Amino acid sequence: MSKTKHTLLNQMKLELDSHSVNESFARAAVAAFAAQLDPTVEELTEIKTAVSEAVTNCIVHGYPACCGKITIWAGIYHGGQFRVWVKDRGVGIADIAQARQPLFTTLSEERAGLGFAVMESFMDRIKVRSKPGGGTTVTLEKEIRGRAQ
């Protein structure tokens, strides 16, 4: 992805409760917004999967003992750049590098610990900011080449 600044053309913001039933809604809402870039089915599927993983992490890891708010923002930039961030105000991550390691999980063995690896495999760039007790923000970026190109 280019380091040049891109002009923001359109944006959306969504806030929802950290109930597991809202994960599919978040995925669909972001995909519907991204659709204006005329992405390929593969690009759209990759965005949906990455967003799904990020939202699921908020639900399962950010708020393990309670419910909280999840904020999702998405932006479309000149040149087909798509950015989305998913933010919670939950427990946070003590060691981001460790959390991003495949198969690492803070929960039981029924969790695969592949969320960040999946996000990284489908997006051009992923950034994780977190503070223990202060929540986590995952930023996902992808250049959409689209069907028209």
Which residues are designated catalytic? 53, 57, 111
Measured CA to CA in angstroms, residue 10 lies from 18, 22, 125 at distances of 26, 23, 20
Tokens of 53: 């993983």
